[in-house]
Amino acid sequence: MDDNDPTGFKSARRRTDLSQGVTLRDAILYYGDLESPEKLYSRHVLTSSAGILESVRCVLDSDALLSEYNRSACNPRSRVMAKLLSGELLGTGMRSGAPLAAAPEKIHPDVWRILVPDFNASSARLENSVEE
């Protein structure tokens, strides 16, 4: 374990190709203008029964994230939404009912005005849509 990167966030960030996109949830970490995004990351080391390292996985810590939202003067979700609305960030998504093989579609910045994002599920729906 790297003492300068105890949660694994820095190394995970280096391995993440942001040009390929990230989930709406992870956009908070990368684009939410958080002072210390590494505090919201948890490191999970998975080993085999023989004690051999199999993988290291870092995930967003939901409890820490909620706590950070409550303490933050500038809500990172609002920052991400402002960037989506301005076109600074490009959102993509799948239409409801689209075939699984369909390519994601670009979401025009103006459409974010009528979408309700769910950051935990990394999804968005139309403001007045009814779920079936």
Range of the domain at 61: 9-126
Residue 120 inside a domain? The answer is: yes
Residue 82 inside a domain? The answer is: yes
Supply the pLDDT for residue 132.
45
Domain count, the chain: 1
Residue 102 inside a domain? The answer is: yes
8 Å CB contact between 76 and 28: yes
Average pLDDT over residues 84-101: 90
Residue 109 inside a domain? The answer is: yes
Name the amino acid, one letter, at 76. Answer: P
Percent of the chain at pLDDT > 70 equals: 65
Residue 1 inside a domain? The answer is: no
CA 83 to centroid of chain Cα atoms = 14
Residue 89 inside a domain? The answer is: yes
**6-57 per-position pLDDT tens digit:** 666 777 777 778 888 888 877 877 888 877 777 666 655 555 556 555 455 5
* Cα dihedral 79, 61, 1, 21 sign: negative
Residue 132 inside a domain? The answer is: no
Q: Which single residue is written with the structure tokens 């939202």?
A: 69
